[in-house]
Structure 1
Amino acid sequence: MSASADPLSAATDALRAAGCVFAEEEARLLLDAARTPEDLAGLIRERSAGRPLEVLLGWVEFRGVRVAVDPGVFVPRQRTAFLVQLAVARARTGAVVLDLCCGTGALGLAIATVLGRLELHASDLDPAAVRCARRNLAPVGGRVYAGDLYQPLPTTLRGRVEVLVVNAPYVPTDAIALMPAEAREHEPRLALDGGPDGVDVQRRVAAGAREWLAPGGSLLIETSRRQAVHTAEAVTGAGLDARVLESAALQCTVVVATDDENSAL
């Protein structure tokens, strides 16, 4: 960038040349985040090299809430707002909500922001994600556990979870190589790789869900349109009733299930 050029224009041009689709919007955000011209130049270099914007900023806006994003932690996708919308419709103030594979904790934070008081629990296997989620969920009283799915949860949660939200990895292993470099090279493989057919973690979630769900409780799992049938099969195979819901606007697919076949989905 030329020192004499308008900083916003110069930053926009640099990001556009690097292939950033929303170059001007990103340039404004980086300009606001930079403390010095040198900081700005460094941020633009990092972004041009493919580092996620949210990691450079240290936050992402999700459902109107600013969520902290640490390096090496999965960045919440805007499409997942559909899962939050469905969860909020099935929860109530004071509900027991559990977020598995929580990453930054964005889902629980967004739900708590809408509903107010909740008994909020979350878990993740990745220590970096756990640290990030604890920072995000502490202000709303959320408790975050380090471990594999249900393994670290307190036994007192068994049979009490009214809403169980899950954005587990669902990219088939062989398809990771086809993902954008921004995700493939800068996000943890643990948060992307769903096994050979993309449903390995979802099967494990479904298999343990009935033990933790309250009567009539709901399990909501984000998936893809292509894999929705397999996600639904994993859920029904675990003895739950399943329904596939889609948002065309957000291009998001969610499987919603219950442990009580007489409960409305």
Structure 2
Amino acid sequence: MQEFAPPLTFSTLVTALRSAGCVFAEDEAELLLSAAADPAGLASLLERRVSGLPLEHVLGWAEFCGLRIAVDPGVFVPRRRTEFLVQQAAALAPGRAVVVDLCCGSGALGRALASSLREVELHAADVEPAAVRCARRNVGGLGTVYEGDLFEPLPPSLRGRVDVLLANVPYVPTDDVELLPAEARVHEPRVALDGGGDGLDVMRRVVAEAADWLAPGGSLLVETSERQAARARETVGSTGLAARVVVSEELYATVVVGTRPR
């Protein structure tokens, strides 16, 4: 690991970050400066960042839907494009919504959606213990976070009651995982990235059970890629859900929505 001796100036930070390949070096330098308690701490933060650790893991948080979400090392970092999924979910949620956030990671999606609704019953789950610990801090008193595989740890009493089912499942095809940037490939759990042969394996497992958990008129929302959208929509529709694809060109985001008929 490269070592930097304090004191460090803004210019020095920018130069070091840019040399390490950080595209938004100026913005990152400002964030590191604001996060450091002292010059030695700043040097430590810079060393970790230029070594390849994701900025969010260095800072300990990520901005998502205007919220500061705690993100621990080894936990999937919420992407800005996924804010589009939360926006779509908020538009579908009833006045008092029962929300489930599967593959919740840091709990960012559930926390953001719950924060935008007047009244919510929130449940979230993830198979990764580190993610569950992080999500419990982020969700706090807004809901309950369970550890387990997909629907398995959820209370049976939720069956047929879920108004909004968020499932930010992994959707990178197995052969493409090694092509991801090192920040994701090295520092985020593979289970949060690898979606199987065509990237849709985990989504299929969610879709297979979703209708049993959704309330009449309730909706499943999953993020996918543009090239997978048609197949994902077909898969969601094959279970009797009314499926559609919504796209945000601004955020480069693609979401498949499946709604249980009333």
TM-score range, shorter chain: over 0.9
Which residue number corresponds to residue 189 of structure 2? 188
Give 1:236 deviation, angstroms: 1.7
* Conserved? CA contact 1:72–1:186, under 8 Å: yes
Which residue number corresponds to residue 19 of structure 1? 21
Deviations 1:141-189 (A, max 9, x none): x111110100000011000000111110000000001111110011000
Give 1:44 deviation, angstroms: 1.0
Q: Distance in 1 between matches of 2:201 and 2:5?
A: 50
- Write the letter of the residue equivalent to 2:54: P
Q: Percent identity?
A: 61
Relative to 1, partners in 2 of residues 1:31 and 1:90: Cα closer, same or farther, differing over 3 Å? same
Q: Distance in 2 between matches of 1:102 and 1:2?
A: 39
- Write the letter of the residue equivalent to 1:68: A
Which runs of structure 2 are paired with 1:241-252 in the superposition (5 Å)?
Answer: 241-252=242-253
Q: Distance in 1 between matches of 2:14 and 2:5?
A: 12
Q: Note the residue ranges of structure 2 that are not aligned, 5 or more in a row.
A: none
Give 1:211 deviation, angstroms: 0.6
Provide the aligned length of Structure 1 versus Structure 2: 259
Which residue number corresponds to residue 225 of structure 1? 226
- Write the letter of the residue equivalent to 1:33: A
Which residue number corresponds to residue 72 of structure 1? 74
Which 4+ stretches in 1 moved above 3 angstroms?
A: 1-5
Which residue number corresponds to residue 258 of structure 2? 257
Q: Note the residue ranges of structure 1 that are not aligned, 5 or more in a row.
A: none
- Write the letter of the residue equivalent to 1:86: Q
Deviations 1:210-250 (A, max 9, x none): 11000010111000001111211221222222101100000
Give 1:139 deviation, angstroms: 3.5
Q: Distance in 1 between matches of 2:195 and 2:36?
A: 36
Instruction: Give the stretch that moved more between structures: 169-178 or 43-52.
Output: 43-52
Which residue number corresponds to residue 148 of structure 1? 149
1:36 matched to 2:38? The reply is yes
Deviations 1:89-142 (A, max 9, x none): 0013321011100001101111111113200011100011111111111132x1
* Conserved? CA contact 1:2–1:10, under 8 Å: no
State the TM-score, normalizing by the size of structure 2.
0.96
Q: Distance in 2 between matches of 1:2 and 1:104?
A: 33
- Write the letter of the residue equivalent to 1:129: A
State the TM-score, normalizing by the size of structure 1.
0.95
Aligned to 1:76, the other structure's residue is in SS state: coil
Instruction: Give the stretch that moved more between structures: 36-45 or 75-84.
Output: 36-45
1:46 matched to 2:48? The reply is yes
- Write the letter of the residue equivalent to 1:148: D
Which residue number corresponds to residue 92 of structure 2? 90
Q: Distance in 2 between matches of 1:4 and 1:166?
A: 45
Deviations 1:28-87 (A, max 9, x none): 111111122222112111111110000111111111111110111000000001000000
- Write the letter of the residue equivalent to 1:194: G
Which residue number corresponds to residue 111 of structure 1? 113
Aligned to 1:74, the other structure's residue is in SS state: coil
Which residue number corresponds to residue 213 of structure 2? 212
Q: Distance in 2 between matches of 1:214 and 1:4?
A: 58
Instruction: Give the stretch that moved more between structures: 191-200 or 24-33.
Output: 24-33
Q: Distance in 2 between matches of 1:13 and 1:87?
A: 41
Q: Distance in 2 between matches of 1:180 and 1:56?
A: 17
- Write the letter of the residue equivalent to 1:78: R
Which residue number corresponds to residue 198 of structure 2? 197
- Write the letter of the residue equivalent to 1:48: V
* Conserved? CA contact 2:94–2:163, under 8 Å: no
Which runs of structure 2 are paired with 1:112-151 in the superposition (5 Å)?
Answer: 112-140=114-142, 142-151=143-152
